[in-house]
Amino acid sequence: MLQLYYKIFKTGVLTEKVAKQLPSTEQHDTTIEEIGLSLKTVVDKHFRGSLAIRQVDAGSCNGCELEIHALNNVYYDVERFGIHFVASPRHADVLLVTGPVSRHMEAALRRTYEATPSPKWVVAVGDCGVCGGEFGISYASCGAVHNVIPVDFTIAGCPPTPLALLQGLLTLCNKR
Amino acid sequence: MSHVEYENINLFCKKLETQGINTQLITPSPLAPAQLLEIDASGWGKAAEIAQKDSWRWSGVWAEDRATTFSVYNCLERHGQYLILSCHLPVEQAQLPTQSAIYWAANRPERNIQDLFGIRFENHRDNTRWTRHQAWDENTYPLRLGFPAIGYNTQPTPPDKDYPFLKAHGASVYEIPVGPVHAGIIEPGHFRFLAIGETVLHLEERLGYVHKGIEKIAEGRDPAGLARLAGRVSGDTTVGHTWAACLAMERAAGIETPARAAFIRGILAERERVINHLWDLGALCNDVGFGFGFYQFGRLRELWLRENQNLFGHRLLMDSIIPGGVNTDMSTLAAEQIRKSIIYLRQELTELITIVDNNTSLEDRFLAAGLFTTELASALGALGFVGRASGQSFDVRKDIPYAPYTQLQMRVALEEQGDVASRFWVRYKELRISLSLIEEMLDKLPAGELQTIWQTPVTAATGFAAIEGWRGEILCFVRFANNNKICRYWPRDPSVINWPALEKLTLGNIVPDFPVCNKSVNGSYSGHDL
């Protein structure tokens, strides 16, 4: 047990303030902290401090999910900006939908949308959700999310990086 | 083919012939390194029976519409030799004896073929639809040649109801339906539990929700297009599936990747394994409420993702493998950086694993939970860490090695106990082995080209490949039409084989332990549903 506490103290706080750990190839010049704080300001003002997101995989390859998950790791720690992921659409302000919508998920996605209380926003995440991506429209896929439910905002990328996700959420909140 | 392998297959042919089944070994094999054996359709079920007695492992079944006939293929493996049985069926009499009575793993893949091709499997004990929910009609088969990829049925797809789940009639038994939309950031699928009190009496999986027609939309693509699609069969196995598809296409085209490209592919694949195992080690801790483990392993994973972005231009390594080679090089500077991060990761892991190992509350949740016996694992032919945690040592990298693994020292992590703890430990050990493999590949990294010039394969050329992805054996079959276009792509993710394991290993556990049981198997939904 002592080792555990020792490890915790030794690891310290890694949550990023500046972009010093960010790879140089990243196209963004703003830092996580800057984006995050702007985001927090908007979330505080319009959402009383907390923005609840329900993530729905409507047919993705799971790549987008991996990056959305990464938002919760210690480096991004998205909860500090007032953003948290919830288990039910009934608790959500935002639906974060990934994938080309597979036809087999079409009804489930509609029902999830209906179960989300208004006012609600739908964000299509990843190239597939934005335009159908590599899969497009087929006998088994409806393509972009907006072909099934109304979409308010899109975050492209295959998959979008955690930073791109944060920037996307900030832009969404600023629009409102 | 070596003498011993030839004897093995010869013996198998003789046994089939004594049962009155005609066989024809196709030489040279168009699916090398696998051998191709054509047999009578009537002997399809009997062949499985004989194969099972000779302990051949069942590894997959797929079909092809060849205009006038259907071809059906069944991949078997024994002692590091792949044998593919094939038979041809007239379109008007598309039926075969089932192999699912002999091989448990054949159940769903056969139903999948039934749903997509309309080939019936006689005496299948569970002859209900599997991949087909409501997106296409009962007597319509998407993978037949005349079926259009786009334009079929643009009406909204109704929800899938009336699926014949097993019903319980006991007074104290109750049902828990879960999904397809789960309560976390996770892929969709449905689980139907029958429980008495807290104990799971029965679990039935219902998948197919993310079926997006990958095999159909592969038709008509060029090799580069197929490689991109393969990279999205399962997002966490992008390297594995792209590699398998590229290797199959390269074999069909008769070209070989340069040695340097093969080594870089190997490094990418091992990095993918490391990242996914780190993620799972953390997630397993999280599922039993041990946040410390979740954050620590997640922290290490993020560092490797960033390194991927830095060195190879993509966090998950998508599209870094291309037909004929790779599109990313390994500079000396990059190699040095990788070595440094390996040393750092090793130190961190040693420290963390001591803490995890000393944590009795973790032990309490992991030990003896989700037990999957060696007998069951062997009967299923369980793959990857699921198989290796239950004593199944098969690893394509070691048993049927391909470049660069032919030049590497391969060790396989093995556990016998088959519980969640074993699957945790096997992952940990595999992770450490991968680190050594990456170092070895960096040591031996040859100089040379990154890509071989692509050659258009002859019309109807076929290729077969098996790659050890991070979840286990990935199979891939491709056939080219004319003009460098793909006419059939069949990827098989190890999840297809491993998903049924979850149904068995959950039994007798309490419902709240399901998440950790599920995570310890970690099947891919997208890779399964295609």
- State residue B220's pLDDT score: 94
Cβ distance B256 to B448 under 8 Å? Answer: no
CA distance A102 to B135: 9
For residue B60, the surrounding DSSP H or E stretch is strand B57-65
Question: In this structure, are residues B115 and B139 in contact, taking their beta carbons and an 8 Å threshold?
Answer: no
pLDDT over threshold 80, residue B6: no
| pLDDT by residue, tens only, chain A of 176 residues | 888 888 888 888 887 754 444 444 444 445 788 888 888 888 888 788 888 999 999 999 999 999 999 999 988 888 888 889 999 999 999 999 999 999 999 999 999 999 999 888 999 999 999 999 999 999 999 999 999 999 999 999 999 999 999 888 888 888 76
Asked if A88 is an interface residue toward chain B (Cβ–Cβ < 8 A), one would say yes
Predicted-assembly ipTM surpassing the 0.95 threshold: no
Residue A165 token pair: 């996700």
Mean pLDDT of chain B: 93
pTM of the full predicted structure? Answer: 0.93
Q: Which of chain B's residues have a Cβ under 8 Å away from the Cβ of A27?
A: none
CA B383 to chain centre: 8
Cα separation, B256 vs B250, whole angstroms: 7
How far, CA to CA in Å, does A29 sit from each of A155, A175, B240, B299? 18, 21, 33, 23
Torsion, Cα of B7, B12, B18, B22 (10° steps):
-110
Residues 32-61 of A with CB under 8 A from B: 55-61
Q: Quickly count: other Cβ atoms within 10 Å of residue B182's Cβ.
A: 19
Q: Tokens standing for B308?
A: 């991927």
pLDDT of residue B121: 93
Peptide bond into A100 cis (omega under 30): no
- Closest alpha carbon to B458 in B489, B430, B487: B487
What is the per-residue pLDDT for B5? 65
Q: Name which of A44-48, B1-5, B73-77, B87-91 the model is least confident about.
A: B1-5
Within an 8 Å CB–CB cutoff, is residue A159 touching chain B? yes
**Alpha carbons within 13 A on the beta-carbon side of B278:** 28
CB contact under 8 A, B209 and A108: yes
Task: Write down the pLDDT at residue B507.
Answer: 94
C-beta atoms surrounding A33 within 10 Å: 15
Better-predicted residue by pLDDT, B154 or B344: B344
Helical pair B332-357 and B259-287, crossing angle rounded to 10 deg: 30
Q: Are B216 and B486 in contact (CB under 8 A)?
A: no
The CA–CA distances, whole Å, from B68 to B64, B84, B90, B103, B509 equal 11, 21, 7, 29, 50
* Percent composition of chain B: helix, strand, coil (DSSP 3-state, to 5): 45, 20, 40
**Burial (CB count within 10 angstroms: exposed 0-12, middle 13-18, buried 19+), residue B483:** exposed
Asked if residue B117 lies in contact with residue B143, where contact means CB atoms within 8 angstroms, the answer is yes
**What's the pLDDT at A176?**
63
Q: What is the mean pLDDT of chain A?
A: 87
Q: Which percentage of chain B shows pLDDT scores above 90?
A: 83
Give how far B83 is from chain A: nearest CA, Å: 30
Q: Which residues of A touch B185 (CB under 8 A)?
A: 55, 57, 65, 68-69, 85
Q: Classify strands B35-39 and B81-90 as parallel, antiparallel or unpaired.
A: parallel
Residue A11: the pLDDT is 87
What distance in Å separates the CA atoms of residue A96 and residue A63, rounded to the nearest whole number? Answer: 14
CB contact under 8 A, A112 and B180: no
Nearest to B402 by CA among B242, B256, B273, B254: B256
Query: Is B281 in contact with B293 (CB distance < 8 Å)?
Result: yes
How does strand B95-97 pair with strand B120-122?
Answer: parallel
Q: How confident is the model at residue B458 (pLDDT cuts 50, 70, 90)?
A: very high
pLDDT at A143: 93
Q: For chain B, say whether A27 makes contact (Cβ under 8 Å).
A: no
Largest CA-CA distance found in chain B, in angstroms, rounded: 70
Say yes or no to pLDDT of B489 above 50. yes
Residue with tokens 């070209």: B255
In this predicted structure, the answer to whether residue B11 has a pLDDT above a threshold of 50 is yes
Contact list in A for residue B296 (CB cut-off 8 A) is 7, 11
Q: What letter represents residue B6's amino acid?
A: Y
Task: Please name the amino acid found at residue B39.
Answer: I
Q: Is there a contact between B524 and A62 if contact means CB atoms under 8 Å apart?
A: yes
Q: Which residue has the tokens 């690893």?
A: B395
Question: According to the 3-state scheme, what is the secondary structure of chain A?
Answer: CHHHHHHHHHHCCCCCCCHHHCCCCCCCCCCHHHHHHHHHHHHHHHHCCCEEEEEEECCCCCHHHHHHHHCCCCCCCHHHHCEEECCCHHHCCEEEEECCCEHHHHHHHHHHHHHCCCCCEEEEEHHHHHHCCCCCEECCEECCHHHCCCCCEEECCCCCCHHHHHHHHHHHHHHC
pLDDT at A26: 43
Residues of B in contact with A157 (CB under 8 A): none
Write out pLDDT tens, residues B166-216: 988 888 999 999 989 988 899 999 999 999 999 999 999 999 999 999 999
Q: Which among B180, B292, B299 has CB closest to A105?
A: B180
Query: How close is the nearest chain B Cα to the Cα of A99, in Å?
Result: 9
CA geometry: angle B381, B189, B153, nearest 5 deg: 110
CA distances from B191 to A66, B129, B194 (A): 22, 16, 10
Using a CB-CB cut-off of 8 Å, the residues of chain B touching A165 are none
**A75: which 2 tokens?**
């480096």
Overall size of chain A counted in residues:
176
Q: What gap in Å lies between CA A145 and CA A113, rounded to an integer?
A: 11
Higher per-residue pLDDT: B240 or A79:
B240
Cα(A103)–Cα(B134) distance, rounded to whole angstroms? Answer: 8
